[in-house]
Amino acid sequence: MMSRTLRIDEQGVLRTLDQTLLPFERREIALRGVDDCHRAIVTMQVRGAPLIGAVGAWGLALALRDDASDAALHEAWRRLLAARPTAVNLRWALDRAMRRVAPLPPAQRAQAARAEAMAICEADADCNRRIGEHGAALLEALAARLPARRPGAPLNLLTHCNAGRIATLDYGTALAPIYLLHERGVPLHVWVDETRPRNQGASLTAWELAERGVPHTVIVDNAGGLLMRQGRVDAAIVGCDRVAANGDVANKIGTYLKALAARDCGLPFWVACPVSTIDPQAADGDAIPIEERDPREVTHVGGQLADGSVGAVRVVPEGSPVANPGFDVTPARLVSGLVTEHGVFDASAEGVALALAAGGAR
């Protein structure tokens, strides 16, 4: 099985890019067992809700290769699930793999789990391509409705965090329609939020867009509201880590503020996500667990030093307390629509129910 984000090498080892080293160094890491998969998810060497789910499924398969007993199966499921509590795709993928292998005799489990992990990967790539098509149609329709502007003026989009191909198995979610429009020759430009504290926008989204030749500009997180007020943003589109049953959306910290600014300025704020990101067990955003991450992500900033090496520098005084919630919740009322592989749905209880029905409610 090959994809741009995950691959199995000739020795049967799962390999993927170490995203903590981008954009300064492109290096693959080898995931040889459940411990490697767990560590890669926790440290964010792999990140992005769909990719986390796929690596979780592979971690379960690798665990069963070593020990296919009931005890080992349930322990691997528990350990991998605990790696990232907010992204529901991890539970979705682990539960899907568990349903496939748990009824089988232990001798058949490893092969079945591997096949299921491969199926999850292939399905994600197809899913994201279809998200791109539905999102591209939205953006083209928006461009057609905008007031007359000079010929060739680009559609200006704002995104937050990284929801591109390296956050998924291919194409991405929020970036998928941008890539499609760029390939079609539609003039566009992307405002890329730096996305503190881990700078996934500045480090990853900008790197992806540069690789594809997509015009973009990196901005500090607090600049988006000003650009919206100045008429320099036509729409915002982001990915997400979990959608509640009422349409509330959990995404990288700072997303809520962009949605508020977009609403105040009368701009569309779309959320691109596979249906697997919907959690019907979470009644609303208050039921979504918010991951509290390592304070060092705030106290230190990583980057390339003057001598060309990569390191981290402290930017917060010693002794100052730090809070580091990794996500926030954007209320459904601020979301213009959920762009899924099955179409665009309202961010509401009714819209979520329709999306789940289209995807086969779980």
- Under 8 Å between Cβ of 209 and 216: yes
Residue 241 known to be catalytic = yes
Q: Which residues neighbour 203 within 8 Å (Cβ) at sequence distance 6 or greater?
A: 22, 23
Q: Which of 241, 248, 279, 328 is catalytic?
A: 241
Q: Which two tokens stand for residue 211?
A: 């690789």
Nearest partner of 53 among 239, 294, 241, 245, judged by Cα: 241
Residue 99 has phi, psi (to 5 degrees) of -60, -35
Nearest partner of 121 among 52, 169, 165, 61, judged by Cα: 169
- Under 8 Å between Cβ of 220 and 143: no
Residue 82, amino acid: A
Q: Which residues neighbour 28 within 8 Å (Cβ) at sequence distance 6 or greater?
A: 15, 16, 17, 18
* Cis, bond preceding 23 (omega within 30 deg of 0): yes
- Taking the CB of residue 24, how many other CB atoms lie within 10 A of it? 14
- Taking the CB of residue 37, how many other CB atoms lie within 10 A of it? 28
Strands, sheet with 188-193, edge to edge from the N-terminal-most edge strand? 216-219, 188-193, 155-159, 235-238, 269-272, 337-340, 343-345
DSSP count for the chain of H helices, then E strands: 12, 16
Active site residues: 241
